[in-house]
Structure 1
Amino acid sequence: MAKIAYILLCHKDPDAIIKQAERLTAVGDYMAIHFDASASRADYTRIREALADNHQVAFCSNRIRCGWGEWSLVEATLACVQTAMDTFPRATHFYMLSGDCMAIKTAEYVHRFLDENDADFIESFDYFESDWIKTGWKEERLIYRHWFNERTQKRAFYAMFELQKKLGLTRKIPDDIQVMIGSQWWCLRRRTVEDVIAFTRKRRDVLRFFKTTWIPDETFFQTLVRHLVPETEIRARTLTFLMFSDYGMPVSFYNDHYDLLVSQDYLFARKVSPEAYDLKRRLGLLYAATGIDFKISNEGRSLFKFLTERGRIGRRFASRFWETESSLGRDRELMILVCKKWHVAKRLLERVRQVTNVPTIEYLFNEEDTQLPDLGGIQKTLGKRTRHRRALMRMLFDYFETDRLIVCMDPANLDLLQDFATDRSRTKFLEIECKFSDSYLIGHAMRVGLAGQQTQRETLERLLPTIRGDIEHESDMIRDAGFDHHYHFREAAEPEENTLALSEFLSIEPNKAREIAQSDYLFAD
């Protein structure tokens, strides 16, 4: 059975560290602690005294003063790993943690998971080929030497960089090393850790190289593990659930995140807010529990993205520069069905096509597999269709040899609606207003990845008002846009009211519009 030695690098909050050590060792696992040399001596003494009788806790005697982006973080990790290896010979796995991490599964689940997966879990992606680094320096981290701390010695850090750059003092990466990159939160098997330590003693050239790279905690272990372990025994993922905001800052978890966290396909989460007392209490009790069946839905990141975007109203309304002078044509008429329930719009579209014989296109800006003619490749992806929407629409008018065309769009595509509304062609909108039951909204959440089959009912119930509000907000934004020729086709309306809207929207006789409006299956879910 797996026996875990947790590698804890920390520098603050002694009470949380003591509780974390007691909790994780209570079920038979181990912990090695490195407390930053620059942190409070009193806090360190307090932690040591509180855990003095816990023989499953070891302290790294070589305390290092750590700085962000420096080799010191890797040095402290290596020292802590060595302490764990020497003190806990029965440890089968070494799991990297911070003081902000907490288990989101039971020890029973964690041990079973590691027993069933004989592999090293570490993000390890090609440094130059992957897009792991989103912005900022890439090659510069490696080919120049970095002796100073970028945050505390900024002037010296950049002065040394500029000097090396000016003098062309670059260096080569060791020939037999393929540099990899990934998160510093890993879980490695004992034999892998032993091989890494042995490698550092044998290959001093590699050690010297990484000592002066920038942010080596994202490259050192990631590179060496990939160099020493067969690819089939590496899982390029972390077992610690963490998210970052749009600004690159770690997302903190609070009391109301318990259900979300335990349903993620991870063993730990980072980072739990110091003020989330109830969340820490519940997760603390969870680790020692037994017999819990976790329902993994894994929708955390999509939920976070969805919910944080709700407060952002800014959208791009202006035409792109290459479309400014383009137009569908002054004599052409584009009719747009706007509906959140795509199946309702498609049914109405089919009835309109049967009655009027006007060419129709379904959700061409929302569904990749929408049936479209071959237009030379512009139609192949949603990205191309959206970027070149006016050119695409002109080509569709030409392909069907018509001056009238009907398409479907989602209410979320406000920028597209706005763009077409400003064209010199005549653009008309028929907004289809539907009723949304809770069961439909749950299904919608699952279709778009906000929830899964295993998402707990409590989570869904908290999510439903937000989804409903989001749909209402989209409709409000369309109304606020003040489009000309904007008609409404409502599920709750009388047939005659919908007949009038259809007649004006399609410019057809009332009897034909009535024939369409009275189709009794249009709004069925």
Structure 2
Amino acid sequence: MAKIAYILLCHKDPAAIIRQAERLTAAGDYMAIHFDASASADAFAEIAKALKDNPNVAFARKRVRCGWGEWSLVQATLNAVETAVEAFPRATHFYMLSGDCMAIKSAEYIHQFLDDNDADFIESFDYFESDWIKTGWKEERLVYRHFVNERTHKKLFYALFKAQERLGLTRDIPADLQVMIGSQWWCLRRRTIEWLLAFIKKRRDIVRFFRTTWIPDETFFQTLVRHLVPESEIRGRTLTFLMFTDYGMPVTFYNDHYDLLLSQDYLFARKISAEAKDLRRRLGLLYSAQGAQFQISNEGPSLFKFLSGRGRVGRRFATRFWETESTLGRERELLIVVCKKWHVAKRVLERIRQVTNVPAIEYIFNEEDAPLPDLGGIQKSLGKRTRHRRALMRMLFDYFETDRLIVCMDPSNLDLLNDFASDRSVTRILEIECQFSDDYLIGHAMRVGLAGEHTSNETLTRLLPTIRNDMVHESDLIRDAQFENHNRLRETSSEADNIAALGQFLAIPDDKSREIATTDHLFAD
């Protein structure tokens, strides 16, 4: 059975560290603690006194002063790992934690998971080919030497960098290493740790290189594990659930995140708020639970992205600079069917084709595989279609040899609606307003990744009003835009009203509109 040596790097909140150590070692596991040498001596004394009689806890023999982006974080980790290897010979796995981490599964589940997965879990993506680094320095982290802390000695840090850049003082990356990058929160098997420690004793040149790289805790272990362990024995992921905001700050979890955390396909989570006392209490009890069952839905990242996105307002409607002089043509008429229920819009579109023979295409700005003719490559991706939307539409008018064309769009495509409505051509919009049952909204949440098969009812109950309000908000934005030719086909309207709306939108007589409006099950899910 797996026995874990937790490698804990921490610098504050001694009471929480003591509780964390007692909780994790109570299940028979171990912990090696490195408490930042820059932190309070009294705080460290409090921790050492409380845990001195716990045989499953050890302290790194040498404490170092840790600074963000420095080698010191790697050195602190190595000091704790070396202590753990010697103090806990029965440990089979070594798991990196911070003081803000807590288990989101039971010890029983975690041990079984590691028994069933004989592999190392560490994010390790190609440093130069991956997009793990979103902005800022990339090559500069490695080929220049970084001697001081960027946060505490900012002027000196950048002055040294500029001097090296000006003098061309770059260095080569070790030729036999493919540098990798990823999260510092890993779980490695004992054999891997022993190989790694032996390797760095033998290859001091590798240590010297990484000592003066910038943010080496994202590259050192990630690179060496890939160098030492067969690829088939590495899982390129972390077992610690963490998310970041658009500003690069870690997302913090609070009391109402309990069910969400348990449903994620991870063993630990970071960061748990120090103020979330009830969450910490419940997770603490969970760790020692026997026979606990977990329904994994894994919707956390997509749900966070959706909910945080609701807080952003404002869009850019300006014409793309390369389209300043372009137009679909004054004599042309673009008819846009807008509907959140795509299947309803497609049903309406098919009926319009049958009744009017006007060329109609479906959600070409929303569905990658929407059927389109070959237009020289511009149609190949959603990105190209959106960037060159007017050019795309002109080519479709030409392809169908028509001056009237119908296209479907999602209500979220307000920027496209604004753009086409500002064109010299005539733009008409038919908004199809449908009713949204709870079952439909749940299905929608699952289709877009906001929920999974095992998402709890409590999470869904909290989520549904947000999704419903989001759909209403999209419709309100379209209404607020006050488009000149805007008609509405409503599920709740009378047949006469819907016939009139279709007649105005398509400029067809009532008998033709009636054929479309009276189609059986027009709004059915």
- TM-score norm. by structure 2 comes to 0.99
Paired position in structure 1 for 2:165 = 165
CA distance in 1, matches of 2:197, 2:180: 18
Task: Encode CA deviations 1:303-357: one digit per residue, 9 max, x unaligned.
Answer: 0000001011111211111112111100000111110011111111111110111
CA distance in 2, matches of 1:378, 1:140: 36
Task: Encode CA deviations 1:9-43: one digit per residue, 9 max, x unaligned.
Answer: 00000111011001101110000000010100111
Task: Encode CA deviations 1:488-522: one digit per residue, 9 max, x unaligned.
Answer: 11000110010001111100011110111111211
CA distance in 1, matches of 2:200, 2:71: 14
Paired position in structure 1 for 2:261 = 261
CA distance in 1, matches of 2:33, 2:386: 53
Shift of residue 61 of structure 1? Answer: 2.1
CA distance in 1, matches of 2:430, 2:175: 64
Q: Is the counterpart of residue 348 in structure 1 residue 348 in structure 2?
A: yes
Secondary structure of 2:327's match?
coil
Shift of residue 119 of structure 1? Answer: 0.6
Task: Encode CA deviations 1:254-276: one digit per residue, 9 max, x unaligned.
Answer: 11111111101100000111111
Paired position in structure 2 for 1:192 = 192
Paired position in structure 1 for 2:147 = 147
Superposition pairs of residues 241-252 of structure 1, within 5 angstroms = 241-252=241-252
CA distance in 1, matches of 2:406, 2:223: 55
Q: Higher mean Cα deviation, 5-14 or 366-375?
A: 366-375
Paired position in structure 2 for 1:60 = 60
CA distance in 1, matches of 2:239, 2:336: 46
One-letter code aligned to 1:319: T
Paired position in structure 2 for 1:20 = 20
CA distance in 1, matches of 2:102, 2:196: 26
Superposition pairs of residues 178-257 of structure 1, within 5 angstroms = 178-257=178-257
Paired position in structure 2 for 1:135 = 135
One-letter code aligned to 1:208: R
Task: Encode CA deviations 1:372-421: one digit per residue, 9 max, x unaligned.
Answer: 11111111111111111101101111111111111110000000000000
Shift of residue 88 of structure 1? Answer: 0.3
CA distance in 1, matches of 2:154, 2:519: 70
CA distance in 2, matches of 1:379, 1:204: 54
CA distance in 1, matches of 2:139, 2:516: 62
Paired position in structure 2 for 1:480 = 480
Secondary structure of 2:431's match?
strand
One-letter code aligned to 1:32: A
Task: Encode CA deviations 1:205-234: one digit per residue, 9 max, x unaligned.
Answer: 111111111111111111111111111111
Q: Is the counterpart of residue 325 in structure 1 residue 325 in structure 2?
A: yes
Shift of residue 118 of structure 1? Answer: 0.6
One-letter code aligned to 2:104: I
Paired position in structure 1 for 2:270 = 270
Shift of residue 126 of structure 1? Answer: 1.0
CA distance in 2, matches of 1:175, 1:524: 63
Paired position in structure 2 for 1:408 = 408
Secondary structure of 1:312's match?
coil
Shift of residue 122 of structure 1? Answer: 0.5
CA distance in 1, matches of 2:310, 2:71: 40
Paired position in structure 2 for 1:383 = 383
Secondary structure of 2:8's match?
strand
CA distance in 2, matches of 1:387, 1:188: 45
Secondary structure of 1:462's match?
helix
Paired position in structure 2 for 1:81 = 81
Paired position in structure 1 for 2:2 = 2
CA distance in 1, matches of 2:410, 2:345: 10
Q: Is the counterpart of residue 95 in structure 1 residue 95 in structure 2?
A: yes
Task: Encode CA deviations 1:125-169: one digit per residue, 9 max, x unaligned.
Answer: 111111111111111111111111100011111111111111111
Secondary structure of 1:331's match?
coil
CA distance in 1, matches of 2:379, 2:129: 29
One-letter code aligned to 1:26: A
Paired position in structure 1 for 2:302 = 302
Q: Higher mean Cα deviation, 156-165 or 6-15?
A: 156-165
CA distance in 2, matches of 1:396, 1:353: 16
Superposition pairs of residues 455-494 of structure 1, within 5 angstroms = 455-494=455-494
Paired position in structure 1 for 2:37 = 37
CA distance in 2, matches of 1:417, 1:118: 53
Paired position in structure 2 for 1:290 = 290
CA distance in 1, matches of 2:55, 2:221: 28
* Aligned length in residues: 525
Superposition pairs of residues 369-380 of structure 1, within 5 angstroms = 369-380=369-380
One-letter code aligned to 2:335: M
Secondary structure of 2:33's match?
strand
One-letter code aligned to 1:74: V
One-letter code aligned to 2:466: T
Secondary structure of 2:429's match?
strand
CA distance in 2, matches of 1:510, 1:128: 63
CA distance in 2, matches of 1:56, 1:407: 66
Shift of residue 192 of structure 1? Answer: 0.4
CA distance in 2, matches of 1:371, 1:75: 56
CA distance in 2, matches of 1:308, 1:191: 42
Paired position in structure 2 for 1:337 = 337
Q: Indicate the RMSD between aligned Cα atoms, in angstroms.
A: 0.7
Q: Higher mean Cα deviation, 485-494 or 152-161?
A: 152-161
Paired position in structure 2 for 1:69 = 69
CA distance in 2, matches of 1:427, 1:13: 62
Shift of residue 281 of structure 1? Answer: 0.8
CA distance in 2, matches of 1:430, 1:167: 64
Secondary structure of 1:432's match?
strand
Secondary structure of 2:244's match?
coil
Shift of residue 175 of structure 1? Answer: 1.5
Task: Encode CA deviations 1:47-100: one digit per residue, 9 max, x unaligned.
Answer: 111112211111112111111111111111000000000100000000000000
| Runs of 4 or more consecutive aligned structure 1 residues displaced over 2 Å after TM superposition | none
Task: Encode CA deviations 1:464-499: one digit per residue, 9 max, x unaligned.
Answer: 000000000000000000100100110001100100
